[in-house]
């Protein structure tokens, strides 16, 4: 218990935050194997040394720190499930990265959980041999180009990017595709070496996937400016004008949009883990502020309303983490379906929004400047609330599952 000093007495020393319980109040991390716990500790050390001291500056300047990629690769965490780690560990990796910097976690998610996992899931043996090792070790970087300027949630049916096959004219090397169209909000899009591009086949209307070298003629990229969230992430508008892509770079394992469901389900899960990480970050900053900040001659933590807000924030974070632990178990069993994942994404992102708002309020005026971290946490939460299916779309997916009636189409 912290008490105010009596007149003429020295104020008591502030409680050390390090001595207090962690935000993992129910000890979910104990479900990890000893090896996974050691690896998570290694990740935390890396994040504390290489990311935390610089993340706000990168965010303020909207600059991506490409120089950290070799060190990040050295952790050997690319596509953790492919390396034999549990799905719970994979989720906690994203949560911990988000806890320190949402932008770095988003880069990791886009590259590893979408591009690299796509190579594992849909790439031919030749494509894997040619691309996978460099991508998994961050010697090359990838992007996932699905969303379009006029199509986000309805991109499956509304996709306007077109692919036309050209073959059999002059012989060897004459089997290729011509891509035309545009993509928007493509994470890593300004600097990636390769991008997985989704396009509609002009011949039959089917959705195809292509591995596109970003340096190909006809590909133009421009950074999306003036963002208020994920400023370190380099989101791009990408235009394809008569881009020639070899048949060898078409994902043979993709025959329709339905083939992408596993990828999208997996990335949606990881974004829900980001919602957990945002809440852990907000709680960390708010609690430290409450313990250390003196007002009216005593620490903020002594005020009942502050304690109530901290407990609400903690409850939201613990409930969200508990839901995600169960999702990880369902993933491990191979039974997690899209409705369950949609509920997790909508629920955790809603609790996140409440949690970061409380944290921002608790810091008062300091909560609107990035110097104190909370403003950055608060702003980044808005991106998580929206991408990988907005709160509203995920809610309607669950509504369709529990009523048998679709309110979407």
Say what the pTM is: 0.91
Phi-psi map region of 238: left, alpha, beta (phi>0 left; psi -120 to 50 alpha): beta
pLDDT in tens, 81-112: 889 999 999 999 999 999 999 999 999 999 99
Which CATH topology does 28-136 take?
Answer: Butyryl-Coa Dehydrogenase, subunit A; domain 1 (1.10.540)
- C-beta atoms surrounding 355 within 10 Å: 30
pLDDT range class, residue 256, cuts 50, 70, 90: confident
Between helix 87-100 and helix 304-333 the angle, nearest 10°, is 140
Tell me the sheet residues that pair with 207.
200
- For residue 4, give both structure tokens: 């105010």
Q: Tell me the C-alpha distance between 358 and 180, whole Å.
A: 46
Say whether pLDDT at 11 is over 60.
Answer: no
Say whether pLDDT at 263 is over 50.
Answer: yes
Say whether pLDDT at 39 is over 60.
Answer: yes
What was the pLDDT predicted at 272? 97
pLDDT range class, residue 168, cuts 50, 70, 90: low
What was the pLDDT predicted at 172? 54
Q: For residue 209, what is the enclosing H or E element? A: strand 207-213
- Given a contact cutoff of 8 angstroms between Cβ atoms, the answer to whether 302 and 57 are in contact is no
The per-residue pLDDT of the chain, averaged, comes to 92
Q: For residue 134, what is the enclosing H or E element? A: helix 125-136
Domain 259-403, architecture per CATH: Up-down Bundle (1.20)
pLDDT above 90 as % of the chain: 81
pLDDT in tens, 129-164: 999 999 999 999 999 999 999 987 787 778 999 999
Mean pLDDT of 10-27: 76
Which CATH topology does 142-256 take?
Answer: Butyryl-CoA Dehydrogenase, subunit A; domain 2 (2.40.110)
Q: Phi and psi (nearest 5°) for 255? A: -115, -15
First to last CA, the chain: 56
Q: Tell me the C-alpha distance between 186 and 236, whole Å.
A: 5
Nearest to 120 by CA among 158, 92, 81, 165: 81
What was the pLDDT predicted at 18? 82
Q: Tell me the C-alpha distance between 391 and 94, whole Å.
A: 20
Longest dimension (CA), the chain: 95
Give Cβ neighbours of residue 215 (< 8 Å, ≥ 6 apart).
Answer: 193
Say whether pLDDT at 2 is over 50.
Answer: no
Mean pLDDT of 363-381: 95
Say whether pLDDT at 65 is over 60.
Answer: yes
Say whether pLDDT at 12 is over 50.
Answer: no
Between helix 261-292 and helix 304-333 the angle, nearest 10°, is 160
Tell me the sheet residues that pair with 183.
238
Q: Tell me the C-alpha distance between 120 and 111, whole Å.
A: 13
- For residue 361, give both structure tokens: 């309020």
What was the pLDDT predicted at 8? 40
pLDDT in tens, 198-239: 999 999 998 899 999 999 999 999 999 999 999 999 999 999
Give Cβ neighbours of residue 314 (< 8 Å, ≥ 6 apart).
Answer: 23, 25, 283
What was the pLDDT predicted at 356? 98
Domain positions in the chain are: 28-136, 142-256, 259-403
Q: Tell me the C-alpha distance between 184 and 235, whole Å.
A: 8
Q: What is the distance of C-alpha 29 from the center of its chain?
A: 20
pLDDT in tens, 316-336: 999 999 999 999 999 999 999
Alpha helices in 216-303 (DSSP H): 261-292
């Amino acid at each position: 218990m912290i008490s105010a000093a009596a007149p003429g007495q020295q104020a008591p020393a502030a409680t050390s935050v390090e001595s207090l319980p962690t935000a993992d109040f129910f000890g979910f991390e104990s479900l990890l194997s000893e090896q996974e716990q050691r690896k998570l500790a290694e990740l935390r050390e890396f994040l504390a040394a290489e990311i935390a001291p610089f993340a706000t500056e990168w965010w303020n300047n909207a600059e991506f720190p490409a120089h950290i990629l070799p060190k990040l690769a050295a952790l050997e965490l690319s596509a953790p499930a492919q390396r034999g780690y549990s799905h719970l560990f994979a989720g906690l990796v994203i949560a911990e990265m988000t806890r320190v910097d949402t932008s770095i976690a988003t880069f990791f998610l886009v590259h590893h959980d979408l591009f690299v996992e796509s190579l594992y899931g849909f790439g031919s043996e030749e494509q894997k041999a040619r691309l996978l090792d460099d991508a998994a070790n961050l010697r090359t970087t990838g992007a996932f180009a699905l969303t379009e300027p006029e199509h986000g949630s309805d991109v499956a049916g509304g996709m306007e990017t077109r692919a036309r096959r050209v073959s059999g004219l002059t012989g060897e090397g004459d089997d290729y595709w011509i891509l035309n169209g545009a993509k928007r909000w493509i994470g890593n899009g300004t600097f990636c070496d390769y991008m997985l591009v989704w396009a509609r086949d002009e011949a039959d209307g089917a959705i195809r996937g292509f591995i596109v070298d970003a340096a190909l003629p006809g590909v133009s990229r421009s950074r999306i400016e003036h963002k208020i969230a994920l400023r370190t992430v380099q989101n791009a508008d990408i235009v394809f004008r008569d881009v020639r892509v070899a048949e060898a770079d078409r994902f043979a394992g993709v025959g329709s949009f339905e083939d992408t469901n596993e990828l999208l389900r997996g990335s949606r899960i990881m974004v829900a883990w980001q919602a957990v990480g945002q809440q852990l970050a907000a709680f960390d900053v708010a609690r430290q502020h409450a313990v250390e900040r003196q007002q009216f001659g005593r620490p903020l933590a002594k005020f009942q309303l502050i304690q109530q807000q901290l407990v609400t924030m903690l409850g939201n974070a613990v409930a969200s983490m508990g839901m995600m632990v169960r999702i990880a178990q369902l993933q491990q069993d191979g039974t997690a379906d899209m409705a369950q994942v949609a509920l997790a994404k909508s629920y955790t992102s809603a609790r996140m929004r409440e949690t970061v708002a409380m944290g921002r309020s608790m810091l008062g005026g300091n909560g609107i400047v990035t110097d104190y971290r909370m403003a950055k946490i608060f702003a980044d939460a808005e991106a998580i609330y929206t991408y990988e299916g907005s709160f509203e779309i995920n809610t309607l997916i669950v509504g369709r599952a529990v009523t048998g009636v679709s309110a979407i189409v």
